[in-house]
Amino acid sequence: MSTARKVLSNTAVQMLGQLTTAGVAIVILKLISSYLGASGYGAYTTVYSFLAFFAIIADFGIFQITVKEMSAHPEKRAEIFGNIFALRICLSLFAMLASVATAFIIPKYTGTPIPLGIAIASATTFLTIVFGTLSSLLQVDLRMQWNALGLVASKFVALGWMLATIFKYFPDNPEAGFFQLLIAGIVGGIFQVAIVLWAARGDELKLRFDFRFWKEILIKTLPYGGAVLLATIYVRLDVILLSLMRNSTEVGIYGVAARVMENLAVISILFLNSTLPAVSRLFRTNKERLKKMLQYSFDFLSIIALPIVVGGSVLAYPIVALVSSPEFLSNPATGFYGSDLALQILLFTMLLAYFGNLLGFALLAGNAQLKLFYVNSSAVVFNLVLNLAVIPFWGFRGAAVASVASQIFVCTLDYIFLRKIIDITFNLRTTIKATIAAAVMGSAVWWLEPIFLNFLGPNKGVLLLIPVGGLVYGLMLLLLRAITPEMRALLRKQA
């Protein structure tokens, strides 16, 4: 099987798993946001956003470096993985302890459930890091179906625990139920780790403590790890600043939209993780094939992202109504801005993040980690200054706009640096065709929306409108011949 076909197959399996996971995540979002309310869901969002800052200490870009190193040196994969596995466990334990200690000394969080929530959820984050480390073995072999199974299983297990909490044990006590919802993540995390642990069993799982190797890998990952750390800061900074400068209710309103957007944005990471081994190899062996692979990736991401942005913008209000409760929705009569407005803005962040991730992965594959560090350090400053300027006046609306502006900033700098190491100019022909197809789809959905929602009700109406919009988009892609012969030929070529 060709590399391109393996990549596509691997991505398809992950996308199927992610779609299932996203579906369960939407159900969970509906349950939690309705159960906790805007303020409680804001505290829930703050817990996981806060932990994300510290979790990156254990991540530090090591997943991508691990995949890259094991792909380049398959004869040393047991040694490489065993050391990295032990290293990440040590780093994650340190990071979680640091997060808990820090949470309890922040004055704004005193007297709220956030510090204890962070202490509980830190176990979930630890399990997630272990899961991600084990998944790197499966990624190298393009056997990510086990990763997808682990994700899906963990979501269903967590969902079961949450249902019991909300409807049986604490139906009228969301304050106590809040902590049970966090415990549900731990239980789900145990299941997903167990599944990939079984799938990845072998000599590689032996923990190794070659401290000289640890030093070498940390030095090697320092530029990219620093870049990943900074990227996490500018991506998560908005929620943390909202929690410190505004209130939990506003974080909750923003958090619903951010959660929907995050479920959609992960598709690009799944695809790019699959392409990383091939792109890394082509950087060393065949620059012309590399350009085709990057163009193919750009076209694929355009085709996936554009209908999401257009359709999501048109259906933002009914989508938020479907996944949350009325208190999260905008009310023009009272001048209240809700999660639907935040979602419309953040969808453009998602679109830009798709392309920014592609450029960032290309720089990583080309050993330009230091360039990524420069980009992301500049983005943190840009994002921080912008958020500090707009959040006091416009709250979550300002944070959402700052997120879009930051992604534009990152994409621009990434592209400039990529052009310095490889002479590539992306052909926009497929993107333009996908844009036209998405515009036609958006117009059709906008015209059909009142009809579907009036006759079928808001929930059934929007659920039926989404596949109808997808059908219109797919037909337009065929009519416009957006899937080019070059893309089809690439899938047929042997690596």
Provide the β-strand partners of residue 244: none
pLDDT tens digits for range 369-397: 788 888 989 999 999 999 999 999 999 99
Rounded distance between C-alpha atoms, residue 370 and residue 4, angstroms: 28
Q: Is 336 helix (H, G, I), strand (E, B) or coil?
A: strand
Query: What is the pLDDT averaged over residues 407-434?
Result: 93
The region, left, alpha or beta by phi > 0 then psi within -120 to 50, assigned to residue 457 is left
φ/ψ of 483, rounded to 5, equals -85, 100
Q: Which amino acid is at 236?
A: R
Q: What is the pLDDT of residues 146-170, one digit of tens each?
A: 777 888 889 999 999 999 999 999 9
Q: How confident is the model over 231-256, as pLDDT tens digits?
A: 778 888 899 999 999 999 999 999 99
CA count, 13 A, side-chain hemisphere, 369: 20
Which of the residue ranges 218-222, 289-293, 451-455 has the most confident prediction, judged by mean pLDDT?
451-455
Nearest to 355 by CA among 267, 225, 260: 267
The pLDDT, as a whole number, for residue 203 is 57
3-state secondary structure of 331: strand
Angle, vertex CA 317, rays to CA 164 and CA 464, nearest 5 = 75
Mean pLDDT of 122-130: 92
Torsion angle of alpha carbons 281, 285, 291, 297, nearest 10°? -20
Q: What is the pLDDT of residue 494?
A: 35
What pLDDT score does 22 carry? 77
Amino acid at 340: D
First to last CA, the chain: 8
Give the pLDDT confidence of 42-54 residue by residue, as tens digits: 999 999 999 988 8
Contact 195, 149 (CB under 8 A): yes
Mean pLDDT, all residues of the chain: 86
Quick one: pLDDT at residue 269? Answer: 75
Q: What is the per-residue pLDDT for 381?
A: 93
| Helices marked H in 246-338 | 248-285, 287-314, 316-323
Confidence at residue 11, expressed as pLDDT on a 0 to 100 scale: 59
Rounded to 10 degrees, what is the CA torsion of 295, 296, 298, 304?
160
Which segments of 111-247 does DSSP mark as H helices, in order? Answer: 114-140, 145-164, 174-199, 211-245
Predicted local confidence at residue 368, as pLDDT: 80
User: Which residues in 169-190 are b (16+ Cβ under 10 Å) and which e?
Assistant: ebeeebeebbbbbbbbbbbbbe
pLDDT of residue 67: 66
C-alpha 386/C-alpha 395 separation (Å) is 12
- Say which residue, 307 or 368, is predicted with more confidence: 307
Is residue 303 within 8 A of residue 476, CB to CB? The reply is no
Phi, psi of 65 (to 5 degrees): -65, -40
Res 493 pLDDT > 50: no
Residue found under tokens 């052909």: 427
Residue 419, pLDDT score: 92
Higher pLDDT, 322 or 12: 322
Average pLDDT (191-199) is 88
State pLDDT tens for residues 275-305: 766 787 788 788 888 888 899 889 989 999 9
**CA 15 → CA 21, 49, 156, 379, distances in Å?**
9, 24, 17, 29
> Which of the residue ranges 70-74, 177-181, 183-187, 218-222 would you say has the lowest mean pLDDT?
70-74
Rounded distance between C-alpha atoms, residue 210 and residue 217, angstroms: 11
